[in-house]
Each structure stands twice: as structure tokens, then as C-alpha cells.
Structure 1
Amino acid sequence: MKRIFLYALVLTSSLSVCAQSSSQYEGTIKSLYDLELTQGQSYSMLEYLATRIGARLSGSPGAAAAVEWSRHTMEDFVDSVWLQPVMVPHWVRGQQEIARVINSKKQGTLELSVCALGGAVGTGPSGVTAGIVEVKNFEELRQLGTRVQGKIVFFNRAFDATRINTFSAYMGAVDQRAAGPSEAAKYGAVGAIVRSMGSGIEAYPHTGGLRYAPNIPKIPAVAISTKDAELLSRLLKEEKDLQLYLETHCVTLDDAPSFNVIGEIKGSTHPDEIIVVSGHLDSWDLGQGAHDDGAGCVQAIEVLRLFKVLGYKPKRTIRAVMYMNEENGLRGGTEYAKQAEKAQALKGGKKQKHIAAMESDRGGFTPRGFTMSAPENVKAKIRSWKPWLEPYGLTDFDQEGGGADIGPLANLNVPLIGYLPDSQRYFSYHHTVEDTFDKVNKRELELGAAAMAALTYLIDQMGLE
């Protein structure tokens, strides 16, 4: 009887501790949300980054200004902040981009809305004039073979509109942008036009990086707006002998020095265990980089600020990383992982271990949950926290994935987590002139910052093992 009584006493005590812990987690998460939604600074930070600095392509003056802005901003509420050197590509678009149908019997001379793809070579001042061949995929191109010699290949594969996840639709089309120009050049093409990676029918083009294959001639390549892609496709069905004049003046300069920007709050109990929250500081040169990825940067910075203002002293070191060169090289993410590996291999008290890395790079839209690339036991542990997160609209924890910049940390067996907002509007702005501050909703942005802070807090409290 005495043994039963002692067991009941221990069980009651354990349940009481669990209830107290649960209440503590709920209370802190609510405080983080309340603070962000009433006194948040993510929106004002984004306004400065997007409207005062603007486009931030690697190697540009805007990128350099963004590095300094990030460092000075984080100095106010972190224990330390530093710059991590990295050499980055330096591609310049040039002033004039022309794509013009010059011999249509029905349309006459017709200007098309285009922009050069990132990393592309230019045509030079004389431009390129050639016939156009439309293909939907690389198999169609292969079947045409040398019949595209001396022609401009028009890759016109649209997003699959039946895919609810627009990132899945993007992945189903983006190979034609990344590899299409080199695939066309294999068969003697003199230029490439790629349908923009947009989910709707829009009058403006989407840029984005290409990857020239080694030992294959580099040909000029542009993206065409989805609206004009539809128009050009209709014209080609009626007039097979259309001629296009293409002119671009982009150039790749020598690699330029730049930096990842890193700020951290030191852990009180396990300072050698690192939790990363992050975004990428660079953006394409057409818009202001508000959703991609200014939103992710300010959300990551805001996690640290919320902890500081709330007076929360983390057990583990919380580190905000602003990566440089995600858009056209991934040099920042690669360099950070390289230095993390060195820190992990150190002997003695300075040895560090990354226990989790989180990235926000899907825009500042309404939070839905988090993607995860991690062992099943880690995923199960994070999913067990859903009762504390679901009241804030965080319900989707089932998708695989982390993020491009944190991806290299997978080699160190670091669990990767991607902030997952609603995706339906993202590819209307992605890599375009429309990616501007006015397209970001203040409350949606703040909810995302609070969501990242809440999950970071839970990881800090309970770990992932």
C-alpha cells in the first residue's frame, strides 16, 4: 500500500511539472506573438531595406549597403555581430534589353517584354537576328537536333496549374531556365528565350539564374513575360518563319568581395550549441527584393530582437545569419557551412555544434507551418509541439525541405527547417520589378517573424534529440 502511495505521489508530481512546463511554453509563445503584433519592428526594418537600399545583387553597391545596414541594425540587440568574408559573382545587366519580332505579316514589328537571365552573356551592340523554334521540353529539343542551328530556341513550358503547391509547379518548369540555354547551344542555337517562371499571365518578365554547361558555347538568354510568351506561341503557329531581333548588354565581371552578416545571443547553459535563423541578403536587380528575401532577413533579425526585448535568456546560442549570394551562386551558404564545419572540429572549449538551422525564403505571406529535412525522430519531436503552435495557424509540418542557404549544413547532419507561408501569390512577384515593399502585408510579415521565434524558443527549451 505504501509503495502504491509513493508511486501515485511521484506520478502526480510529474504531471504537475509537465502542466507547469506546458503552461510556461504557452505563455512565452503568446508573449512573443503579442510583442511582435503590437511592438514589432520587422515591417519598419523591411521598409528601410527595400525602399532606402533596394536591389541588392551580389557585387553591387546595394549589396554592400545592405551588409552595413544589417550589421548596424543587429548591434542594438545582440551580444555580438560580425562579418564573414566571401567572394561572390559580379554580374551586371546593362541598360538595354530588346526582343523584337521584325517580320510578322499580321503584327508587323512587335516589341516583347523580356529581361536577361542572370549570368547570361550579352549579344553586344549588333544584337542577334534569327528565326525562332518553340519547344516545351528538352526531349522536343533533342528530337529537333541540328534543325535549331542558327535559330533562337523558345522554351515555353508553363507552370502546372493543377499543382496546389506553387513551389512544386516552379520546380516542374525551372530546368528550362537553368539549363535551357546550354541545351539549345549544344545543337547550334544562337540564342534562347525562356518563358518566365510565373504562376499567372503577366506583362512583366521574371529573371533568375542560368547555369552554362562547361565546354559548350555561351549564348545570350532572356526571359519573356508569360503574356508575351502566349502571344509569341500563337504567332508561331500561324507564321513559322518569324524572325526575332535580340539585344542585351549584360556582362560578368571579376568576383567581388562581400560578406555574410552574423549576429547572435549567447546561450546561458549550452553556448556551444547553435540554432540558426536566417534569410539571404542579396536580391535580383529588377525590384526591391522585398519578398525575396528581405522578408526572410528581417524575420530572422526580429527573432533575436524579440528575445532581447522580452528578456528571454536562451539556453543555447541563437544566431541570425544574413547570407550573401543565394540568387546566383550560393557562395554565402557554402562559406558559412565551411566555417561551421571547422568550428565543429575544434578541440577544447571553443568547439561548436549546430543543432538546428531555419531559413525563411518563401516570401512574407501568411504562415502555414514549417518544412523539415531531418531524421524522423526530429520531425516527430517538432510535430509533438503542434498543440502550442496550431492556435497561431501553424498546421503544416509534413512537407520535406529546408532552404538553399542552409542546405550545405546537411553535410554536418544539421536538421534543416524552412519557414512555410502560403505560396499562392509568391510567383507573381518572384524575381520581378513587382517585388516591392508595397506588396508585403504588415500583419502577415509579423506573424511569420513570431512563428519563427516561437519554434526557435521551443527548440532552445527542449532540443531536438
Structure 2
Amino acid sequence: MKKISVLFFFASLITIAQTKDEQQIKRIYDAALTQGSAYNWLNHLSNQIGGRLSGSVQAQQAVDYTKAQLDMLGLDRVWLQPFMVPKWVRGTPEFAYIETNPGITTNVPICALGGSVATPLVGLKANVVEVKGLEDLKALGEEKIRGRIVFFNRPMDPTEIDTFESYTGCVDQRYNGAEEAAKYGAVGVVVRSMTLRLDDYPHAGAMSYGDTPLENRIPAAAISTKGAELLSTTLKLNPKIKFYFKQNCRQEEDVESFNVIGEITGTTHPDEIILVGGHLDSWDLGDGSHDDGAGCVQSMEVLHLLKTTGYKPKRTIRAVLFMNEENGLRGGNRYKKIAYEKKENHIFALESDAGGFSPRGFSFESSKANLERAQSWASLFEPYLVHFFKEGYSGADIRPLDNGEMVLAGLRPDSQRYFDHHHAENDTFEHVNKRELELGAAAMTSLVYLFDTYGIVN
């Protein structure tokens, strides 16, 4: 009889805890959907500031604006973390065409890839060789590549349900294509845009020359998917066609920029830090609403919602808006360096960098015990249609923090539309749904609440 009473007592405690958690999460969601500020913050970032390329005036305006908004939340501490960032400038708009015969041309949309060198002032025109990936270069050899423009035309795999897996499967041609093609004597590269959509928007993104000397670097551009289809079809009909493109991008001296940081100090375990974050910089073609203005304002909203609901965290909750994720990751690395120097104890970090679409769940990089604990909370999120709690990638800016003991997580929204906008001119405010953005912020805040309440398994 005594054993039954003890079991009943512990079962009652579990039920009380679940009820408490359900009530707090309901308060969080209600506040996000009725008193949230994320959408208004994003409106200003997108429509009053615009694209925030690392090192640009707009990036600095975003730093000033978000710090001011965090100051207004009445947090325990708000500060800027300085460091130097690269400053790559696109210059005048790019121009390109396919020439089927002398004087007979068809214009196609392109954009310079981030970090690329410029073409000659008069532009670059050459014959084209099409490949499906880096491995094709070796098979073709220098004889068939020298003096030509290499056209990388491997599309994202449409059979992958997780579009981030599809992106990962072909992004190497964008990042390393120019470096590898130059080894075989190519004079330039054109890369199919990383999107499953067939449209006229070229998608930017970072590329690297590795250790290639400056004098041997060749210009690299992304071509829209419709442009890529036209170029590929035209090449099949006439392998002797030429491609012309002109871009005026340049790399300038590094400039100072900042991570923007705000925190609520914990009441009982202030030395244990829970981090939420996104990256404040974006590419310059659109206004960076999904990538990653959404993640920044959702991270700010976590602090706002905790205060709005009257919740006083046990642990320190810190929002970090990282700078220079897109073309260097210096913000994430700088934050990690300072955290290690100060011997800060980060137990949990959550990043939102997958767009402001409907939240579907979270992916975790952690020990098995901590993954199972997180999965035990999944039922609390089911009323909000958040069900994905699995092992997987967290986020680029928080990964440098990984010490093998903490928990890293990434918000996982529905991914089907993300690459329609990623790094493109149509990554703009009107493509963000207010309710979806708010639901994502609420999901993040709820997960932060649970990790704050129960900690991690050591």
C-alpha cells in the first residue's frame, strides 16, 4: 500500500509539472500572437534598411536599430561585440547574354557570387563547357576547358523532401567551382542558382578561391534557373555558342562591425547561459527578410515574450544577432572566442536561420540523453503542430560554441519555399507571413523555457 502511495505521489508531481508547462507555453503562444513585436521589427529592417551585406552602411544601420530595440525592452544588459569583417562590394548591376551567332544574342539574368573578382572592364566572352559537378572537370581535362567558361548545371535534387539536404547536395559547385575550374585553365564560371523553382531570379551566395593567387582568380556568377535551362538547351543545339558577362564587384579593406547582444540575467543559475540567435547580415539583392531577418527578430522576441508573460528565468537568457554569417562567419567565431576567454558556461544554444515559415520542430546536436529529454517534450508542442524533434544540424553561428557537453538546436520551419527566396531578389518582406513568423518565435521561446526550467543532462 505504501509503494502504491509513493507511485501515486510521483505521478501527481509529473502531472502538476506537465500542467504548469502547458500553461506557460499557452501564455507564450498567446502573447506571441497578440502582443508580439517581431513583425514590426522585421518591417523596419527590411523596408527601412534593406539588404545588409557585411561591412555595408545598411549593416551598420541594422546594428544601431536592433540595439536600440533591445534597449527598449528593459533587459538587464545590452551591448555590442566589435570585430573586423570583410567588405565585398557588388558594384553596378551585372549583365550577360548568350551569343548564338555574331550579333545574335539573348540576355539572361545573372549576379556575381559573393567574393568573386570582376570581369575585365569590357566584360568576358568565351565558348562554354557544361558540367554537372566538380568531378566532371577532371574527366574533361585541361584541353577541353582551357580558355572556356565552365557552366556548372547540377540542379537541386527535387526528390529530397528536406530541401536543405537538396541544397547541400549541390552547393559545392557554387562555393568551390571557380577555384577548381581555374586549375584547368577556365576563364570564368557560371553556376546554376541554388533553387528548386524555375524563375528569372539569380541567387547569390558565397564562393571561395582557396589558396588561388589573386592573378589566377577567375570571375564567378550565378545564373537564374530559367537562364540555365536556356543555356543548356542552346549548347546542345550549338556547342559553339559563346557566353558574355560583365560584373564590377570588388573586395575592399576590412571594416569594423558588431554582434548585437542582449540578455536577461538568471535568478538562480546566472552563470548558465542559454543562447538564441540569428544572423543580422544578408545578401544585397533582396532585403534579407527570410535570410535571416526573421531569425534575428524571432531571437529578440524570445526575450520580449519572456518578459511579457512575466516569466523570470532561472538561467541567463541571451539573444545574439551575429554579423558576417553569409561570407565569413566571423561573428560566430568572435563570439565563441570571447566566450571561451571569459570561461562562460553555455548549456544550450538555439539558432533560427531557415526562414520565417511555419515551424515544424527542432533539430538537435547533443548527447543521446539530452536528445531523449528534448523528445520527451514533443507532446507539449503537438497542439501547435510542432512535431519534429530529431537529431540534425543546428546552425552555423552557434556551432563554434560546441564543447561536446552543451545542447545545440536549430528551429526547423517548413522548408518547401525557403529556397525560392534564398539569396535572391525576392527575399523580401511581403513574402513573410506575420502569423508564421510569430508561431516560430513562440516555438523558440517555449523550447528555451523548457531548457531553462529543467536544464540539461550532464
Q: TM-score, normalized by length of structure 1? A: 0.95
State the shift of 1:9 in Å.
Answer: 3.8
Residue 397 of structure 1 aligns to a residue whose secondary structure is strand
Mapped partners of 1:100, 1:411: distance in 2: 50
Match of 1:41 in 2: 37
Out of 95, 98, 109, the position equivalent to 2:95 is 98
Q: Secondary structure at the match of 2:302?
A: helix
CA contact (8 A) 2:108 2:223 kept: yes
1:88 matched residue in structure 2: 85
- Residue aligning to 1:307: 306
Shift of the alpha carbon at 1:415? 1.5
Which runs of 5 or more residues in structure 1 are unaligned? 345-351
Q: Deviations over 1:162-216 (max 9, x none)?
A: 1111101000110000000111100000100000001111111000000112035
Structure 1 letter corresponding to 2:392: E
Match of 2:195 in 1: 198
Does residue 18 (structure 1) correspond to residue 14 (structure 2)? The answer is: yes
Q: Say whether 1:442 aligns with 2:438.
A: no
Structure 1: distance between partners of 2:77 and 2:370: 29
Structure 2 gap segments, 5+ residues each: none
Q: Take 2:8 and 2:412, find their aligned partners in 1: how far apart are those partners?
A: 38
Comparing 227-236 and 91-100, the one that deviates more: 91-100
Give 1:124's aligned residue.
Answer: 120
Indicate which of 97, 103, 106 corresponds to 1:110: 106
Match for 1:367: what amino acid? P
d(CA) in 1 for partners of 2:404 and 2:5?
44
Paired residue for 2:362?
370
SS of 1:255 mapped into structure 2: strand
1:371–1:420 CA contact under 8 A, matched in 2: yes
Query: 2:319 corresponds to which residue?
Result: 320
In 2, Cα distance between equivalents of 1:96 and 1:51: 21
Instruction: Please state whether the residue corresponding to 1:398 is helix, strand or coil.
Output: strand
Matched, 1:209 2:201: no
The whole-number CA distance in structure 1 between the counterparts of 2:118 and 2:126 is: 15
- Cα deviation for residue 412 of structure 1 reads 5.8
Q: Which residue of 2 aligns with 1:170?
A: 167
CA drift at 1:16: 2.3
Q: Secondary structure at the match of 2:406?
A: coil
Deviation of 1:8 after TM superposition, in Å, equals 3.9
Q: Which residue of 2 aligns with 1:181?
A: 178
What displacement does 1:102 show?
2.7
Letter aligned with residue 159 of structure 1: M
The answer (yes or no) to whether the contact 1:343–1:353 under 8 Å persists in 2 is no
Q: Distance in 2 between matches of 1:73 and 1:139?
A: 49
| Equivalent residues of 1:104, 1:239 under 8 A apart | no
Q: Which residue of 2 aligns with 1:269?
A: 268
SS of residue in 2 equivalent to 1:179:
helix
Contact 2:29 2:439 in 1 (8 A): yes
Equivalent position to 1:136, from 132, 137, 143: 132
In the TM superposition, 1:246-257 aligns within 5 A as: 246-257=245-256
Secondary structure of residue in 1 paired with 2:353: coil
Aligned partners of 1:413, 1:132: CA distance in 2, in Å? 50
CA distance in 2, matches of 1:103, 1:237: 12
- Residue 394 of structure 1 and its aligned partner are, at CA, apart by 1.2
The CA deviation at 1:416 is 0.8
Superposed CA deviations along residues 262-297 of structure 1, whole A, max 9, x for unmatched, are: 000000000000000000000000000000000000
Alpha-carbon distance in structure 2 between the residues aligned to 1:405 and 1:223: 25
* TM-score, reference length from structure 2: 0.97
State how far apart, in whole Å, the 2-side matches of 1:139 and 1:125 are.
Answer: 31
Q: Match for residue 67 of structure 1? A: 63
Task: Give the Cα separation in 2 of the matches to 1:384 and 1:18.
Answer: 12
2:401 alignment partner, SS class? helix
Structure 1 contact 296–360 (Cα < 8 Å) conserved: yes
SS of aligned partner of 2:52: coil
The answer to whether the aligner puts 1:385 opposite 2:377 as a matched pair is yes
Residue type of the alignment partner of 2:360: R
Aligned partner letter, 1:211: S
Moved more, 426-435 or 141-150: 141-150
Aligned residue identity for 1:390 = E
Distance in 1, Cα, partners of 2:428 & 2:391: 28
- The answer to whether the Cα contact below 8 Å between 2:56 and 2:87 also exists between their aligned partners in 1 is yes
1:63-95 superposed Cα distances (whole Å, 9 cap, x missing partner): 000001111111122111000012111000011
Distance in 2 (CA, whole Å) between partners of 1:414 and 1:112 is: 48
Aligned to 1:347: none
CA distance, structure 2, for counterparts of residue 377 and residue 116 of structure 1: 45
Q: Which amino acid in 1 is paired with 2:112? A: A
Q: Once superposed, what is the RMSD of the aligned Cα atoms?
A: 1.2
Which whole-Å CA distance do the structure 2 matches of 1:104 and 1:418 have between them?
50
* In structure 1, C-alpha distance between the alignment counterparts of 2:179 and 2:282, rounded to whole Å: 24
Work out the CA distance in 1 between the residues paired with 2:391 and 2:90. 36
